[in-house]
Amino acid sequence: MNSGALTVPIPLQSELTGVGDSISGSIRSFADKFNMSPSPTGTLSAGVTMAPTYAPSSPVYSPSAAFQPVTGSPQNVVSRGVGDSFGAPSMPMEPLASFLASASSSPEAPVAAPRVPPVTSISRVVKTEVGTAAVPASPSRSVRVMLPSPGSPSRRPADIAPAPTSPLACQVQGSRPTVNGGDSPKKLSEKMKNEAVKEQFHEGQWERCDEGGSHRDGLLRRLCSSSTDVVNQRESYRSKGKKQPTTCFSGFFKHQDPVKKVDVLLVGGGIMSATLALLLKQLEPDWKIVIVERLAEVAQESSNGWNNAGTGHSALCEPNYTPEAGKSVDIHKAVTVNENFQLSRQYWAHLAEKGLVHPDKFISTTPHMTFAHGEEQIAWLKKRFNALKDHPLFQGMEYTEDPEKMKTWAPLMMQGRDDKERCAFTRVPYGTDVDFGELTKELTKAFVALGGDVQLMTNVCDFAKDESGLYDETWIVTTRKMKGLGRKPTQYRARFVFIGAGGYALPLLQKTKIPEIRGFMGFPISGEFLVCQNPDVVARHSSKVYGKAAIGAPPMSVPHLDARKIGGKPMLLFGPFAGFSPRFLKSGSLMDLFRSIRLDNIVPAAAAGLRNLDLSRYLIGQLLSTKSQKLEELKNFMPEAEAEDWSLVTAGQRVQIMKRDPQKTGVLQFGTEVVSSNGIAGLLGASPGASTAVQVALDVLANCFSEDLERWSPQLSTMIPSFGTRLSEAGHLSETLRRRTAQALHL
């Protein structure tokens, strides 16, 4: 085949317009032989059906005949294919071939044209840069057509001849083709569609034409199915950039994302991580500190207002902090808990004075009361009151058995109660209710405002000690986005890591493989609360009232009737009712407990379980209790409680610590404990938890930043005025700080 020729495979009896967008036009030379020039209203253009106007009774074409848009009989219109707006004008090849043969010897002489039969089918249109040629459906003819060259009035021949084999191949020679030879009809159509600019043949020249306005050329271009849509066109989706070459070593030298260097990484978006992060950011503003949280918001697990009691635990009313000891009670734990809460209160007051938190959102004054009924409980309550009333941290505590005074303190609890039933109360008027969920959000906002970073929906996958020797005591923490679009994990190199992930702190500490976590196991306990939102009932109770726990009950299961504010809404909560779930988090997995089992913690856990069979019996009884039994327990506090006013909600998960003990093999430990080792620390345990968050943060600083603590001490003393002193031994200071913090926190 000659250079520049085009070969297009054409199936037999195929139609002109069966390939995507039809490419329409006319054979220019045919019109020129009859001295037929296009009229201004009949401009030949791709995609618009044009047909010669002639009278069927006339054997000769009129020299003045113009090519007009087809408006007559359908027999002159070629059938349209997919995407066509009009058919393509053309003439059957037999009369055209005989005309060309007779006219070749005398091109200027008028020649009588044969009568043209109706157009029925044309197999294909072959397009070149200067026009189109129609190919007949029959393979038995070979014709020679003159096509005009661009920019020149002269004509060059173009041979259209069938190939000797089927499917019929149409070969065009002469004019430059727009596509390479051998393309399939589908590929030919695609290439025609993707041409950068479709041009219009007008008065012998190809012209660019805009589509705007109501002028003739714009209208024709807008109606043309094969023209380029200059208004709505877009770039190709596929990138035109070159691909990087692939070699046999490509798999060995893959690009690795750099490890992000941070000073401190905190795992978990609860009250513990938020407190420590903000404290460190205030002490070291230039440090890069990051909090990662697996959920979409902070404070959605144990710190959430619905998942805890909301009590500012200071042992003002909680009976479990003052166990009986012979003829008296032991107040040692009560003093410790109270002093630890004072640290939190002072730090919150400091933040409020600096404008970093808004105390009205998370703390309010709520009197703390202890309730006793029956001779045995009243005797215990008297001993407790006598042991605490003169202590500097418990000043202002009152005791009464007077029915009238009790009706004033707790009208809802005394209404409907039998006059013969002996009851007693102690009361501290300056107790607090704390929405730890809102507090956590306030601390997190302050942390971010000071330049901290919080990564939500980020799961911690692994911990590894950096053993490269280039960095001193650093950890590589691998994280991955929850439901992320990318598969690549993110790694942090941190000088210090704190794990404050609530119940899930144990599994994460086990991943670190530090020796200090060996022998630890968790025992998860769930809880439920009865909730009342009836405003008439809520308005008649304004205190937190704690009673004595049942025998064998864990500390967090002490029954209490609380006036609460959750999300700013007043309500009453009663409970909790203990339950069991193998999950370590409310949103955790049913396999959490089983995945935490190790060879080193099986024996301590079994020993602790055997020593606490009463707890097992209590949990079984709680699991089997019905709603009516829970209502009866509520009536011990509120005799006229109506079932219609109360609903049951599920609280958070608490994981009690079981650990190795040198004397007892294994013990069940109530409370919290910080486990630390070489640049990493984690908080285990439950109650009192959030109330002692600042004390836990100070313990972490003393244990893991001992070299910096002396340098930080002056600033810490400004934030926490009692830092470095014992409030229980400085009565005057404790009263002064209580009044100062009350003013700063709007209490």
Amino acid 534: pLDDT: 94
Backbone angles phi, psi at 676, to 5 degrees: -140, 155
Tokens of 465: 């000690």
Are 561 and 574 in contact by the 8 Å Cβ rule? The answer is yes
d(CA 703, CA 716): 15
Mean pLDDT value of segment 285-294: 96
**Residue keyed to tokens 């029956």:** 374
Helix axis angle for 706-719 and 332-353, nearest 10°, is: 70
What percentage of the chain reaches a pLDDT higher than 70?
63
Mean local confidence (pLDDT), 266-275: 95
In tens, the pLDDT along 674-702 reads: 899 888 999 998 766 788 899 999 999 99
Q: Are 583 and 539 in contact (CB under 8 A)?
A: no
The stretch 40-51 carries a mean pLDDT of: 37
Q: Is residue 18 scored above 50 in pLDDT?
A: no
Band the pLDDT of 568: cuts 50, 70, 90.
confident
Going along 254-327, which residue ranges are E strands? 260-267, 289-292, 324-325
Q: Is residue 458 predicted with pLDDT exceeding 80?
A: yes
Least trusted range by pLDDT, from 131-145, 183-197, 242-256? 131-145
What share of the chain in percent tops pLDDT 90? 43
How much is the pLDDT for 216? 64
Pick the closest to residue 576 from 639, 640, 525 (CA basis). 525
Q: Is the pLDDT of residue 574 over 60?
A: yes
Q: What are the φ and ψ backbone dihedral angles of 672, each rounded to 5 degrees?
A: -120, 155
User: How high is the pLDDT of residue 669?
Assistant: 83
- Pick 23 or 560 by higher pLDDT: 560
**What CA–CA distances, in Å, run from 609 to 117, 581, 656, 670?**
103, 16, 12, 14
Q: What SS3 class is residue 344? A: helix
pLDDT of residue 146: 43
CATH fold label, 305-436+502-744: D-Amino Acid Oxidase; Chain A, domain 2 (3.30.9)
The CA distance from 294 to 527, in Å, is 22
- Residues β-bridged to residue 683: 674
Cis geometry, peptide bond prior to residue 582 (ω within 30 degrees of 0): no
Query: pLDDT for 510-539, tens place per residue?
Result: 999 999 999 999 988 888 899 999 999 999
Segment among 163-177, 222-236, 382-396, 470-484 with least mean pLDDT: 163-177
pLDDT at 234: 54
Lowest mean pLDDT among 72-86, 295-309, 575-589, 593-607: 72-86
What is the phi/psi pair of residue 400, to 5°? -155, 150
Judge whether residue 747 has pLDDT over 80. yes
Q: What is the pLDDT of residue 355?
A: 95
As separate numbers, helices (DSSP H) first and strands (DSSP E) second, the chain gives 19, 32
Return the pLDDT at 222: 58
pLDDT of residue 347: 96
pLDDT at 256: 55
The torsion angles phi and psi of 632, rounded to 5 degrees, stand at -65, -40
C-alpha to C-alpha distance for 64 and 66, rounded to whole angstroms: 6
| Best CA proximity match to 164, nearest among 139, 182, 185, 143 | 139
Mean pLDDT computed over 715-734: 87
Confidence band (pLDDT; 50, 70, 90) for 217?
A: low
Ordered alpha helix ranges (H), 398-528:
403-409, 411-414, 436-449, 505-512
**Alpha-carbon gap, residue 351 to 348, rounded angstroms:** 5
Mean pLDDT confidence for 383-395: 92
Crossing angle of helices 271-283 and 436-449, in 10° steps, is 30
pLDDT at residue 184, as a whole number? 56
Residues in contact with 357: Cβ distance below 8 Å, sequence separation at least 6, in sequence order:
348, 351, 439, 442, 443, 446
Write out pLDDT tens, residues 118-136: 444 444 444 444 444 444 4
Beta-carbon contacts of 183 under 8 Å, excluding residues fewer than 6 positions away, are 8, 191
Rounded distance between C-alpha atoms, residue 63 and residue 39, angstroms: 12
Cβ neighbors of 40 (< 8 A, separation 6 or more) are none
User: 394-423, pLDDT tens digit by residue?
Assistant: 989 999 999 999 999 999 999 999 888 899
Q: Which of 155-169, 294-308, 315-329 has the lowest average pLDDT?
A: 155-169
User: Which residues lie closer than 8 Å to 395 by C-beta, 6 or more apart?
Assistant: 731, 735
pLDDT score for 619: 83
Q: Where does the pLDDT of residue 579 fall: very low under 50, low under 70, confident under 90, or very high at 90 and above?
A: confident
Beta-strand ranges (E) seen in 293-430 are 324-325, 328-329, 363-365, 368-373, 398-400, 423-428
pLDDT of residue 129: 40
The SS3 assignment for 706 reads helix
- Distance of alpha carbon 78 from alpha carbon 16, whole angstroms: 8
Angstrom distance (rounded) from CA 626 to CA 38: 96
Span of 134-138, 267-271, 296-300, 681-685 with lowest mean pLDDT: 134-138
Structure tokens at 160: 């259209």
Highest-confidence range of 373-377, 397-401, 623-627, by mean pLDDT?
A: 397-401
How many angstroms separate the Cα of 160 from the Cα of each of 141, 152, 598?
9, 22, 85
Domains of the chain, residue spans: 6-223, 305-436+502-744
Mean pLDDT of the chain: 74
Q: CA of 601: how far to CAs of 89, 237, 469, 503, 522, in Å?
A: 89, 57, 32, 17, 10
| Whole-structure pTM value | 0.67
- Under 8 Å between Cβ of 389 and 428: no
Report the C-alpha gap between 214 and 415 in whole angstroms: 88
The pLDDT assigned to 84 comes to 37
Is residue 211 very low, low, confident or very high in pLDDT (cuts 50, 70, 90)? low
Q: What is the pLDDT of residues 344-354, one digit of tens each?
A: 999 999 999 99
What per-residue confidence (pLDDT) applies to 621?
84
Q: Which of 316-330, 441-455, 658-672, 729-743 has the highest mean pLDDT?
A: 441-455
